[in-house]
Structure 1
Amino acid sequence: MVKTYKSLYPLAWLYGLGVRLRNALFDCGVLRSVSFPLPVICVGNLTVGGTGKTPHTEYLIRLLTASGMHTGVLSRGYKRKSKGFLWADAGIPMEQIGDEPFQMKSKFPDIRLAVDADRPHGIRCMTAPEVTPPLDVILLDDAYQHRYVKAGLNILLTDYRRPIYEDALLPAGRLREPLSGKSRADIVVVSKCPPRLSESEAEAIRQRLCLEEKQSLFFSTLRYGDLHPFDGPTDATRPLSSLTEDTPVLVLTGIASPDKLLHDLQGYTRRISSLRFPDHHQFTDGDAETINRRFAEAGAGTLLLTTEKDATRLHHLPLSDEVKRNLYILPIEVDILFGERPVFNQKILDYVGTYSRDNRLPA
Structure 2
Amino acid sequence: MGWLAGLIQRHWQHPQMALSIALWPLARIFQTIAWLRRLFYRTGILSSTKLPCPVVVIGNIHVGGVGKTPLVAALVKALQARQIKVGIISRGYGRCSKKTVIVENGTVVSEAGDEPLMLFQQTQAPIAVATTREAAGQALLAAYPDIQLLISDDGLQHYALKRDMEIVVFPSADIGRKMDVLPNGPLREPLRRLQYVNGIIFSQGKQQSIQQAKQAGLIINNQWKGYSSINYGAFYSLNEPHRTAQAQEFSSKHCAAIAAIGRPQRFFLALQNLGIELIQTVALNDHANIESADWPEADVVFITEKDAVKLTTPMPNNIWVLPLSALICPDLAQFIQTELQLQQRP
Q: Shorter-chain-normalised TM-score: which range? A: 0.7 to 0.9
The match for 2:8 is none
The match for 1:267 is 273
In structure 2, do the counterparts of structure 1 residues 209 and 309 end up closer, same or farther at CA, with 3 Å as the change threshold? farther
Greater alpha carbon shift after TM alignment, 32-41 vs 269-278: 32-41
Per the alignment, in what secondary structure is the counterpart of residue 266 of structure 1? helix
Identity %: 26
Q: How many residues align?
A: 329
The match for 2:289 is 282
Deviation at 1:355, TM superposition (A): 6.5
Per the alignment, in what secondary structure is the counterpart of residue 69 of structure 1? coil
Q: Find 2:118's aligned residue among 103, 109, 113.
A: 103
- Looking at structure 2, the residues matched to 164 and 141 of structure 1 have their Cα atoms a distance apart, in angstroms, of 26
| Structure 1 residue runs without a partner (length 5+) | 358-363
Please say if 1:180 is aligned against 2:168: no
Counting only pairs closer than 5 Å after superposition, residues 34-183 of structure 1 correspond to structure 2 as: 34-109=49-124, 111-128=125-142, 131-132=143-144, 134-163=146-175, 165-183=177-195
Deviation at 1:43, TM superposition (A): 0.5
Look up the equivalent residue of 1:36 and give its one-letter code.
Answer: L
Contact 1:248 / 1:269 at 8 angstroms: preserved in 2?
no
Deviation at 1:106, TM superposition (A): 2.3
Alignment deviations for residues 145-177 of structure 1 (CA, whole Å, 9 cap, x no partner): 111222112110111234485322112222112
Greater alpha carbon shift after TM alignment, 175-184 vs 42-51: 175-184
Please say if 1:3 is aligned against 2:14: yes
Look up the equivalent residue of 1:260 and give its one-letter code.
Answer: R
In structure 2, do the counterparts of structure 1 residues 209 and 260 end up closer, same or farther at CA, with 3 Å as the change threshold? farther
Deviation at 1:121, TM superposition (A): 2.6
Please say if 1:222 is aligned against 2:236: no
Look up the equivalent residue of 2:283 and give its one-letter code.
Answer: R
The match for 1:249 is 255
Contact 1:116 / 1:122 at 8 angstroms: preserved in 2?
yes
Look up the equivalent residue of 1:205 and give its one-letter code.
Answer: A
Contact 1:12 / 1:171 at 8 angstroms: preserved in 2?
yes
Look up the equivalent residue of 2:151 and give its one-letter code.
Answer: L
In structure 2, do the counterparts of structure 1 residues 303 and 162 end up closer, same or farther at CA, with 3 Å as the change threshold? farther
The match for 2:42 is 27
Alignment deviations for residues 184-238 of structure 1 (CA, whole Å, 9 cap, x no partner): 3111011123xxx4x5555223321431222121111111111111112x22112
The match for 1:361 is none
Per the alignment, in what secondary structure is the counterpart of residue 270 of structure 2? helix
In structure 2, do the counterparts of structure 1 residues 241 and 218 end up closer, same or farther at CA, with 3 Å as the change threshold? farther
Deviation at 1:144, TM superposition (A): 0.5
Alignment deviations for residues 38-76 of structure 1 (CA, whole Å, 9 cap, x no partner): 221111100112111110110112112222222211000
In structure 2, do the counterparts of structure 1 residues 346 and 116 end up closer, same or farther at CA, with 3 Å as the change threshold? same
In structure 2, do the counterparts of structure 1 residues 260 and 219 end up closer, same or farther at CA, with 3 Å as the change threshold? same
- Looking at structure 2, the residues matched to 107 and 354 of structure 1 have their Cα atoms a distance apart, in angstroms, of 23
- Looking at structure 2, the residues matched to 346 and 269 of structure 1 have their Cα atoms a distance apart, in angstroms, of 36
Please say if 1:348 is aligned against 2:336: yes
Alignment deviations for residues 82-135 of structure 1 (CA, whole Å, 9 cap, x no partner): 1142211321221011111111122233x211111222232222223xx34521
Deviation at 1:8, TM superposition (A): 2.0
- Looking at structure 2, the residues matched to 20 and 251 of structure 1 have their Cα atoms a distance apart, in angstroms, of 41
Please say if 1:311 is aligned against 2:279: no
- Looking at structure 2, the residues matched to 171 and 62 of structure 1 have their Cα atoms a distance apart, in angstroms, of 36
Contact 1:158 / 1:164 at 8 angstroms: preserved in 2?
no
Contact 1:42 / 1:155 at 8 angstroms: preserved in 2?
yes
What is the TM-score when the length of structure 2 is the normalising length? 0.86
Q: Find 2:212's aligned residue among 204, 207, 216.
A: 204
In structure 2, do the counterparts of structure 1 residues 240 and 262 end up closer, same or farther at CA, with 3 Å as the change threshold? same
Contact 1:183 / 1:211 at 8 angstroms: preserved in 2?
yes
Contact 1:192 / 1:260 at 8 angstroms: preserved in 2?
no
Per the alignment, in what secondary structure is the counterpart of residue 125 of structure 1? helix
Look up the equivalent residue of 1:238 and give its one-letter code.
Answer: A
- Looking at structure 1, the residues matched to 48 and 35 of structure 2 have their Cα atoms a distance apart, in angstroms, of 16
Contact 2:98 / 2:130 at 8 angstroms: preserved in 1?
yes
Look up the equivalent residue of 2:243 and give its one-letter code.
Answer: A
Contact 1:153 / 1:351 at 8 angstroms: preserved in 2?
no
In structure 2, do the counterparts of structure 1 residues 38 and 253 end up closer, same or farther at CA, with 3 Å as the change threshold? same
- Looking at structure 2, the residues matched to 70 and 241 of structure 1 have their Cα atoms a distance apart, in angstroms, of 40
